[in-house]
Amino acid sequence: MKAIICTKYGPPEVLQLKDVEKPTPKENEVCIKIFATTVTASDCIVRGFNVPILFWLPMALAVGFPKPRQPILGMVLAGEVESIGKTVKSFMKGDQVFGFDRFVFGTYAEYKCMPEDGMLTTKPSNVNYEEAAAVPYGGLLALHFLRKGNIQSGQSILVYGASGAVGTSAVQIARYLGAEVTGVCSTANLALVKSLGAGTVIDYTKEDFRNRGALYDFVFNAVGKRKAKLQCNDVLTPNGKHISVDDGSPTLHIEELILLKELVEAGKLRPVIDRCYPLEQIVEAHRYVDQGHKKGNVVITVTQDEK
C-alpha cells in the first residue's frame, strides 16, 4: 500500500511516499481503507520534534527517539471498513467510519488497523470523507476543554484563536451548549468565525479584547500558551475560568466522538476545511500547517471516493 514514511524528525521534507506492506487486522481489530486524513498542528509538532526542552523526555517516551517509533504519522482517518478480525462485533465490512488514533498514528496511509473499541465510529451520514476527517481532532479537543469550563446556557464565552481547527469547533460547540460566544481572530477570518455562530468577533490585529470592558464566564485560549500568553483575570466574572488548549493532555472517550457525529448530522457542527491536498503532496501540506495560520483543517485525500 502507499504510505508516507517519516524516518527522522525534521522539516516537512523528511516525509516520503513509499510502498509498504498492508496491515492485517488482529482478532479484535478492523482494517480501514482510508479515504481522507488531516495534517494537524500536532502532526507537525511530532514530525519536527518541536517541543520546549522541558518536554523532550515525555515526548521521546510518547513518540520515540531519535526517530519516530511509528514511521507512519497521522492521527485522523475517515474511510471504509475493509475487513474485520474474528472477534469483532460492532463493525462490518463496508461500514463508513471516522476516527482518531492519537498515540499510535498510522493514518498517512491507504490502510490502517484499529481495535474495535478504539476512537472509531460510523461517520456522519451527511458529509463526505474529507469533511468527516475535519471533525475529530478539533472537535474532541474543543469538547474536552469546554467541558472543563462546565459551560451553562446563557454564559458568556470567549474563544481566542477562533479560526483554527480547535477554535472553529469550540465556537460551534459553545453555541450548541447555549453560550454567547465572542471569537477572536485576525481580519481575514472575521466573516468565517461570525458564520460559525459567534455573536461578537474581535480582530486581534487591531484591538486587545481585554480593553472592551466585557466580562466572560469562560475564556478558552485555543491558540495555546506557547504562541499566545493571555492574562485574563481582569476580564473574568467572579467565578469565571480561563483555560488554554495546552493545559494538560486530554483523556478522550468514544461517547465524545459519537456526540460530534450527531452534532454534524444535526447541522450544529460544520467541518471547516481550509485546503485539501492529495497524499502525494503531504510535504506542501505540512509546510502550510507549519505556518500556524490555517483556517480550520487541512485535509489529505488518500484515495478518491468513486461512489
**Contact positions vs ligand NAP (CB under 6 A):** 40-42, 45, 138, 141, 161, 163-167, 185-186, 189, 204, 222-224, 227-228, 245-246, 249-250, 292-294
Smallest separation, CB 292 to ligand NAP (Å) = 5
- 3-class SS of residue 143: helix
Q: How many residues are recorded in the chain?
A: 307
* Residue whose CB is less far from ligand NAP, 12 or 161: 161
Smallest separation, CB 23 to ligand NAP (Å) = 25
Residue 71: is the preceding peptide bond cis (ω within 30°)? Answer: no
Smallest separation, CB 305 to ligand NAP (Å) = 24
Comparing CA positions, the residue from 62, 142, 107 lying closest to residue 282 is 107
Comparing CA positions, the residue from 25, 37, 56, 71 lying closest to residue 303 is 37
The DSSP secondary structure of 179-207, one letter per residue, reads -EEEEEE-GGGHHHHHHTT-SEEEETTT-
Smallest separation, CB 296 to ligand NAP (Å) = 7
Q: Cell numbers for 159, please give them.
A: 474563544
Smallest separation, CB 51 to ligand NAP (Å) = 9
* Residue whose CB is less far from ligand NAP, 115 or 250: 250
Q: Are strands 236-244 and 216-221 parallel, antiparallel or unpaired?
A: parallel
* Residue whose CB is less far from ligand NAP, 121 or 168: 168
Smallest separation, CB 255 to ligand NAP (Å) = 19
Smallest separation, CB 91 to ligand NAP (Å) = 26
* Residue whose CB is less far from ligand NAP, 111 or 209: 209
Are 150 and 178 in contact, with CB atoms under 8 Å apart?
no
* Residue whose CB is less far from ligand NAP, 98 or 209: 209
Contacts 24+ apart (CB under 8 A), 276-285: 276/130, 276/300, 276/301, 277/39, 277/301, 279/2, 279/4, 279/17, 279/108, 280/17, 282/4, 282/12, 282/15, 282/17, 282/39, 282/108, 283/12, 283/13, 283/15, 284/12, 285/39
CB proximity list for 286: less than 8 A, separation 6 or greater: 12, 15, 39, 43, 44, 47
Beta bridge partners of 29: 115
* Residue whose CB is less far from ligand NAP, 171 or 279: 171
Smallest separation, CB 102 to ligand NAP (Å) = 8
* Residue whose CB is less far from ligand NAP, 121 or 163: 163
Q: Which residue in the shown chain puts its C-beta closest to ligand NAP? A: 164
Are 36 and 129 in contact, with CB atoms under 8 Å apart?
yes
* Residue whose CB is less far from ligand NAP, 81 or 170: 170
